[in-house]
Amino acid sequence: MPTGVPERHQEEAVRWLRVAAHFTEALEDASLPHEALASMGCSGTEESPDGLTVAGYLPDTLGAWERVAEVGGQLLALGAREVEVRAIEEQDWANSWRQFFVRRQVGERVVVVPAWEEHEPSEGEIAIVLEPGQAFGTGEHATTQLCLELLERFVSTGDRVLDVGTGSGVLAILCARLGATVWATEREEAAVHSAKENFKRNGVSVRLFHTELLPRPPEGEEFDIVVANLVSAAHMRMAAEVARSLRASGRWLISGVIPDNWSAVLAAAEEAGFELQERVERGGWIAAVFSLGGDASDESDASDRSDGSDRPDQPE
């Protein structure tokens, strides 16, 4: 974690975070700190009249503090002497939050719709209806959008997909609607609850595991795709295990990587046997598609590829 960025205090019942970068001298061009804050998912950014502080407001949804830590590093690299993060109590948080979650088209066919909005899907459209609660994943954030766009292109009917860190369940729902059989994991209880509700709301069946570990692939099988929108360190930690869970020519779709971490993430992926197939960038976030590059006809038995000893095999 970069200096100047405080640790989260779990016991605080916070709803919004104010992230402020303090500079020693007024900036001539403050667009970079504004962009860094916006890329973190800040709904609004502001500058103090003396030009010494650039701040933004971020809903304290799950995963927010991990992003604050990453973007805090960017703000310090841009010359901030300190990055201050403060929790803001919000009287009517539920309704304030709702005004920032609006219907949004992502990719060719996907539309993410707030649960409180009436929406009649048009021909060929895939509408994902969400009540995110405190879970991350409304489709507003660039990292989620990049994943949705990649999944729309890469998931086919009958694929076995694992969504690691499902949050609101948005990615898992899209995969299920594209005809995949879907497994998902989530470590935070509140997000597990939101995801379950959203799976019901969208009429999809997803095997959800409340865990930080990767679930065992189906008996005698492997996943075709593993998708994960997480911080860089988590991708690097999981790379080898993801490789063992995938079929020989399977794909690993990742998002949530900042440019400073890209070379380390790429090196970890290559060390685990992945080849980079595609890399996309939006709003200061990188998403990538890696392939194991094997021959699909040369798939080995799942038990050969994973020891699976301490991994969950029963969904919630």
Ligand X SMILES: C[S@@+](CC[C@H](N)C(=O)[O-])C[C@H]1O[C@@H](n2cnc3c(N)ncnc32)[C@H](O)[C@@H]1O
Q: Which residue has the closest beta carbon to ligand X?
A: 165
Name the amino acid, one letter, at 186: E
Interaction of residue 136 with ligand X, rule CB under 6 A = yes
Q: In this chain, which of 147, 155, 192, 242 binds ligand X, going by CB under 6 A?
A: 147
Q: In this chain, which of 60, 70, 149, 188 binds ligand X, going by CB under 6 A?
A: 188
Q: Nearer Cβ to ligand X, position 210 or 279?
A: 210
Interaction of residue 230 with ligand X, rule CB under 6 A = yes
Smallest distance from the beta carbon of 314 to ligand X, in angstroms? 16
Cα–Cα distances (Å) from 142 to 34, 210, 229, in that order, read 15, 25, 11
Interaction of residue 63 with ligand X, rule CB under 6 A = yes
Smallest distance from the beta carbon of 247 to ligand X, in angstroms? 21
Contact criterion met (CB below 8 Å) for 119 and 130: no
User: Going residue by residue from 166 to 185, which x/- string records binding to ligand X, judged by CB under 6 A?
Assistant: xx--xx-------------x
Q: Which residue has the tokens 């509408």?
A: 127
Interaction of residue 245 with ligand X, rule CB under 6 A = no
Residues numbered 199 to 218 that lie near ligand X (CB under 6 A) are: 212
Question: Nearest Cα to 94, choosing from 112, 114, 111?
Answer: 114
Go through 107-119 and write b for each residue having 16 or more CB atoms within 10 A of its CB, e for each that does not: bebbbbbbeeeee
CA distance 173 to 199: 7
User: Going residue by residue from 9 to 48, which x/- string records binding to ligand X, judged by CB under 6 A?
Assistant: ----------------------------------------
Q: Nearer Cβ to ligand X, position 62 or 257?
A: 62
Q: In this chain, which of 8, 22, 187, 279 binds ligand X, going by CB under 6 A?
A: 187
Name the amino acid, one letter, at 85: V
Q: Nearer Cβ to ligand X, position 71 or 80?
A: 71
Smallest distance from the beta carbon of 227 to ligand X, in angstroms? 8
Q: Nearer Cβ to ligand X, position 75 or 164?
A: 164
Q: Total residues contacting ligand X (rule CB under 6 A)? A: 23
Q: In this chain, which of 74, 144, 232, 245 binds ligand X, going by CB under 6 A?
A: 144
Interaction of residue 191 with ligand X, rule CB under 6 A = yes
Binding segment (CB under 6 A) for ligand X, from list 48-56, 72-80, 131-139, 258-266:
131-139
Interaction of residue 165 with ligand X, rule CB under 6 A = yes
Residues that bind ligand X (CB under 6 A): 62-63, 135-137, 144, 147, 164-167, 170-171, 185-188, 191, 212, 229-230, 234, 256
